[in-house]
């Protein structure tokens, strides 16, 4: 059988504070809080398994807990603006007064739904390739993740900055899987300086036209050492009013890849951020439902499945035993 794998990078403003001001992007952040319950409803309707890779700071109930957790974490990036600590003056006391940085109520909603895995997006939205950071700093971040929420076993690297040198350390802290990047030069891990215009243009075009392939894969091709790589297949780009005339192409690109995966007993990993649905929410939800309706069709025709990252780990470990 093959399967759709879903993961979401749940970060609120912690994931974009170094890129956008709240005035610029706050509508998306607040909109994501309304989108998440609706995404969960769709997942329940179509029995979708999903990994929610959550920034650890979102778990904190108030600023006192947040500051206590951050005390032990060093984030000495050469560019100080990248650090979560740089953003602390903009953080309120708790979720009642600050909807941009706290999300415990939303996490509880996710936990209440069936088939949803709570994963990690690191504690401090830690960038593993930025200048100045080192493995000992990353270890302190991992310690904070484990202290806050034991049992987390799936990790998504912020900005997809996969650092292969850090995987053995992840294994030591109970992480069994991470989301790797698509196998193409335009999707490899990068920092801002490496994100050239030509790469951005090719990635944009690849959402609508099949330039780099379907990026589905068989489990036996997946790297399992030192932890399991569950590679991305496609970022679910949000609806763009400027490119609305290309929406059918974007949908067909994904549906064709899903069909190829189902026919060939392969796995297709779709991911996005809830804040991508923060604007044009109904358009994005409608698009997602069309994808899930196609998955439902593939379930019936090819025994296609729905899985999250921990499901993949369990399946691989089960296959090893057999």
Model pTM above 0.95: yes
pLDDT at 150 over 80: no
Q: What are phi and psi of 124, to 5 degrees?
A: -105, 25
Predicted pLDDT at 93: 98
pLDDT of residue 156: 98
pLDDT at 121 over 90: yes
**Which residue in this structure is represented by tokens 């193409």?**
184
Residue-wise pLDDT for 97-107, tens only, equals 999 999 999 99
Structure confidence at residue 190 (pLDDT) = 81
Is the Cα torsion angle 65, 67, 72, 75 positive or negative in sign? positive
pLDDT at position 191, please? 85
Rounded Cα–Cα distance for residues 152 and 182 (Å): 24
- Domains of the chain, first to last: 3-321 (3.20.20.370)
Q: What pLDDT score was predicted for residue 180?
A: 98
Work out the percent of the chain whose per-residue pLDDT is above 70.
100
The fraction of the chain above a pLDDT of 90, given in percent, is: 93
**Average pLDDT of the residues in 23-42:** 98
Q: Give the Cα separation of 122 and 106 in Å (integer).
A: 18
Average model confidence (pLDDT) across the chain = 96
Residue 213 or 149, more confident? 213
- 207 neighbors 185 (Cβ within 8 angstroms): no
| Residue owning tokens 């996005």 | 272
Check pLDDT > 90 for residue 145: yes
């Amino acid at each position: 059988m093959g399967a759709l794998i879903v993961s979401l990078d749940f970060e609120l403003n912690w994931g974009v504070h170094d890129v956008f001001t709240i005035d610029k992007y706050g509508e998306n952040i607040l909109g994501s809080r309304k989108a998440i319950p609706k995404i969960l409803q769709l997942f329940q309707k179509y029995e979708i398994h999903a990994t929610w890779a959550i920034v650890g700071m979102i778990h904190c109930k108030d600023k006192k807990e947040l500051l206590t957790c951050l005390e032990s974490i060093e984030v000495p990036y050469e560019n100080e603006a990248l650090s979560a600590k740089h953003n602390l003056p903009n953080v309120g006391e708790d979720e009642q007064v600050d909807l941009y940085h706290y999300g415990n109520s939303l996490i509880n909603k996710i936990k209440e739904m069936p088939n949803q895995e709570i994963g990690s997006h690191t504690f401090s939205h830690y960038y593993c390739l930025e200048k100045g950071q080192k493995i000992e700093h990353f270890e302190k971040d991992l310690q904070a993740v484990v202290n806050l929420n034991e049992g987390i076993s799936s990790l998504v690297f912020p900005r997809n900055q996969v650092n292969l040198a850090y995987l053995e350390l992840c294994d030591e802290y109970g992480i069994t899987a991470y989301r790797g990047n698509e196998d193409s030069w335009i999707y490899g891990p990068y920092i801002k300086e490496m994100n050239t215009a030509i790469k951005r243009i090719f990635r944009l075009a690849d959402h609508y036209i099949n330039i780099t392939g379907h990026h589905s894969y068989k489990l036996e091709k997946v790297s399992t050492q030192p932890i399991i790589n569950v590679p991305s297949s496609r970022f679910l780009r949000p609806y763009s009013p400027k490119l609305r005339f290309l929406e059918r192409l974007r949908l067909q690109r994904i549906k064709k890849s899903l069909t190829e995966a189902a026919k060939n007993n392969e796995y297709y990993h779709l991911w996005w951020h809830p804040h991508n649905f923060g604007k044009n929410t109904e358009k994005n939800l409608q698009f997602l439902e069309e994808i899930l309706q196609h998955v439902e069709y593939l379930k019936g025709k090819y025994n296609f499945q729905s899985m999250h990252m921990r499901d993949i780990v369990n399946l691989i470990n089960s296959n090893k035993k057999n």
